[in-house]
Structure 1
Amino acid sequence: MCLAIFSLNRLPDWPLIIAANRDELHTRPTLSAAPWDNATHILGGRDLEAGGTWLGMTLSGRIALLTNYREPTPRKLDAPSRGQLTENYLRGNHTAQAYAQTVHQDSSLYNGFNLLVGDHRELWYCSNRSATPPQQLTTGIFGLSNAVLNAPWPKVLRTRNALENHLRDVTTPSAEVLFSILQDTTAAAEHELPDTGVGLAREKILGSPFITDPRYGTRCTTIVLQHVDGKAIFLEKRYNSLGQTEGLVRWEIDTQQQKIIA
């Protein structure tokens, strides 16, 4: 997962809206979003190389989202998989606050990460590259990529602003509009790009919201729409190495009855 924009309590009937791109090597083995075979109450994609998920949701409405932190320092080869951070929350029953605080205590074990855990009532953010402890997020529109929350990267600013503009004029979010926001291939100006140690040529490739590259690019876009009545919509659109849509899956969930209804 390399770019997520989300809204908390900006629309009265839709307290949580998430739209997120997962960017990854096209050769990395992955399962598309579906109920997990060994935990059917969890819905989301799966990384078959390291385990875990970049974005998942339980039938009770628990949500976990992960992005890696891009930095020039070498990765720790013996570090545990960051995908466990999302999986353990979705499988467990800790409160979001308690889980975020526990992760924070052990965060030095991992390579750089950003983690969101919670539900439409309470959402917590923690990162082992942030100077602040875990924080509960309240009303607002947020953006998260491979730096800390709301870092002013061009693609974060561009997509946050687009989400803000969309929600300003509606009472119900449009999944199609959210998909279009995340499928934006507009390149950032060179002078606006961050310097994360990968070189300018690579920064330019990674600088657009939607990445098309033969080796590494946007593999899927996931949208989660949580209604105040407990109903939720979970969508995933998948892409090939050319950036072309390969498939779309959609589920409707009743989080009060904890079941898929469509």
Structure 2
Amino acid sequence: MIALDVLCLRSDVNVSRDVNQVLVTDKPISLVLREPCKLQHILTSTGTAMCLLFCYINPHPQIGQYKLVLVNNRDEQYTRPTKPAHFWDSGILAGMDMKPGTEGGTWLGMVRSGHIGCLLNILQPAGNPQTGKSRGSLVVNYLLSKQGGLECCKRIQESKEKYQPFNLVTLEPAGDSYKMVVYNYEDDQIEQLKPGIHGIGNSSIEKPFLKVRKGCKKFEQIIETHGKVEKEEELMKALEAMMRDDEACFPDPQIIIQGEKNEEQLLKDLSSIYVSHYEYGTRTTTLILVDHTDRVKVQEKTMRQPINTHKPDWDTSRFSFQIVKNDK
């Protein structure tokens, strides 16, 4: 028997099915960036559909404490059709990419066994060809497989050339705590991270962007101040505020190196935790809390579609359920 409570605070969402158009132009890139309707090709060619994740793993959770606290921002083109978080027929709790050709994938998902998968793209130089299989299937395949994170990452590593660069984060219950495994495409390394505070962005773990360093410090302060179950509402509000921080961390040497040949304004806009750049930016924030009793709370705040980029409306969905061990 699965205990499942769902509180949905959003109205029905009209999913846009606009198809991204490819731009061919002889104009200087500085002019193109001033025409929002033509921006999508520029963003696609840089691999800038990114995301940002902060995670706290408690090695020895006591009564009233959390095993896991996770917060994620999804940065994406505002016109990309997406379904908000919901339980899929397969049992995955996640938002769903609905772009024709890649529909059915996701950037962040969880199943009732407590396993979590998250995809974060790697910032690329302007003009890099964007070919290969959809990376959104990586999270789905992990959550539906019988493999643990380490085994899954090893399997993906063997076929990495089929995809554009990415970080894949896997989390799974391990005793009274959680195990976190990360595969970084660029370094071709699989790492099992120790419990504690972690920030994963759009570069290798060893070379984090400044906004990741900044976020980790703030995240640690929030956990120390509000990291108990009795302060859950304060915790969630503080995490939401952190993920809405739009202060640029620029110049950032790592962003400049990875994003070479890109417009400086684009790189500056990408240097903040909350991204806003013409027709692209942070459009979804997700919180996942797992307490010492394996009670899970998930909250997603996402821009209502079609998105008004000047004054977006936000829909909130909340889910609560008990982890069912060995249900994967």
1:203 match: 267
Instruction: Check 1:65–1:150 CA distance in 2 against 1; reply closer, same or farther (3 A cut).
Output: farther
Q: Is the 8 A contact 1:64 1:89 kept in 2?
A: yes
Secondary structure at the aligned position of 2:320 is classed as strand
- Tell me whether 1:27 sits opposite 2:79 in the alignment: yes
Instruction: Check 1:54–1:10 CA distance in 2 against 1; reply closer, same or farther (3 A cut).
Output: same
Q: Aligned runs of 1:1-262 on 2, under 5 Å?
A: 1-9=50-58, 12=61, 13-36=65-88, 38-39=89-90, 41-49=91-99, 50-51=102-103, 52-72=105-125, 74-77=128-131, 79-120=132-173, 121-131=178-188, 133-149=189-205, 151-172=207-228, 174-190=235-251, 194-195=255-256, 196-197=259-260, 198-239=262-303, 240=307, 241-242=309-310, 244-256=312-324
In structure 1, runs of 5+ residues without a counterpart are none
Moved more, 159-168 or 183-192: 183-192
Q: Is the 8 A contact 2:207 2:254 kept in 1?
A: no
| Count of aligned pairs between the two proteins | 255
Instruction: Check 1:243–1:71 CA distance in 2 against 1; reply closer, same or farther (3 A cut).
Output: farther
Structure 1 position 30, deviation (Å):
0.5
Q: TM-score, structure 2 length as denominator? A: 0.73
In structure 2, runs of 5+ residues without a counterpart are 1-49
Q: Is the 8 A contact 1:5 1:19 kept in 2?
A: yes
Q: Is the 8 A contact 2:199 2:212 kept in 1?
A: yes
Moved more, 222-231 or 68-77: 68-77
Secondary structure at the aligned position of 2:54 is classed as strand
Task: Tell me the alpha carbon deviations over residues 75-131 of structure 1, each in whole angstroms, 9 at most, x when there is no partner.
Answer: 342x11101100101111111111111111111221000001132422210021125
Distance 2:206 2:315 in 1: 30
Moved more, 14-23 or 167-176: 167-176
Q: Is the 8 A contact 2:252 2:271 kept in 1?
A: no
Moved more, 142-151 or 211-220: 142-151
Distance 1:91 1:67 in 2: 19
One-letter code aligned to 1:246: W
Identity %: 27
Instruction: Check 1:147–1:183 CA distance in 2 against 1; reply closer, same or farther (3 A cut).
Output: same
Q: TM-score, structure 1 length as denominator? A: 0.90
Secondary structure at the aligned position of 1:86 is classed as helix
Instruction: Check 1:11–1:170 CA distance in 2 against 1; reply closer, same or farther (3 A cut).
Output: farther
Structure 1 position 57, deviation (Å):
0.3
Task: Tell me the alpha carbon deviations over residues 31-55 of structure 1, each in whole angstroms, 9 at most, x when there is no partner.
Answer: 101111x31x110101111131000
2:34 match: none
One-letter code aligned to 1:248: T
Q: Is the 8 A contact 2:68 2:291 kept in 1?
A: yes
Moved more, 116-125 or 105-114: 116-125
Q: Is the 8 A contact 1:213 1:242 kept in 2?
A: no
Distance 2:66 2:312 in 1: 30
Structure 1 position 227, deviation (Å):
1.4
Secondary structure at the aligned position of 1:102 is classed as helix
Structure with more of its chain in strand, by fraction? 1
Structure 1 position 245, deviation (Å):
4.5
Task: Tell me the alpha carbon deviations over residues 211-236 of structure 1, each in whole angstroms, 9 at most, x when there is no partner.
Answer: 12330011100011111211111110
Structure 1 position 151, deviation (Å):
3.1
Moved more, 234-243 or 25-34: 234-243
Q: Is the 8 A contact 1:113 1:128 kept in 2?
A: yes
Moved more, 163-172 or 92-101: 163-172
